[in-house]
Amino acid sequence: MSDFSKSMKGAKVMAVLVETRKGKKIFLLNPSEKAGKFASELKHGIRFTNAGEMKVDRNDNPLTLTDEQRAYRSGYLQSRQDSAKVYKYKKAKRKSKK
């Protein structure tokens, strides 16, 4: 079991296993699972599949994150935090009007 799978243990998993037209099976993650995956990848510096397994190259070495991948994942997580802050602010503002 990978670190990503362990970190998601106990969380409500809503990932969907989908079969493409060509018969390839892929996992689709909901936004919270995607954020958890990205956070785990940033923490460990390696890539995981949507199924939670570590991605490896031809020599079975784990694939590390490039600078661009780190930046994308950090930006994704930051935008989620920003959206949550705006939501909480607006919610408090609405509540104070009542």
Q: What is the pLDDT of residues 22-65, one digit of tens each?
A: 999 999 999 999 999 999 999 999 999 998 899 999 999 999 99
- In-domain check, residue 33: yes
- Is position 92 within any domain? no
Whether 94 is covered by a domain: the verdict is no
Would the CA dihedral through 20, 26, 32, 34 be positive or negative?
A: negative
**Structural domain range at position 70:** 3-87
The number of folded domains in the chain is: 1
DSSP string, 53-88: PBPB-TTSPBPBPPHHHHHHHHHHHHHHHHHHHHHH
- Confidence class for position 96, pLDDT limits 50, 70, 90: confident
Mean pLDDT across 54-80: 96
pTM over 0.85: no
Q: Quick count: other Cβ atoms within 10 Å of Cβ 69?
A: 15
Segment holding 19, helix H or strand E: strand 16-19
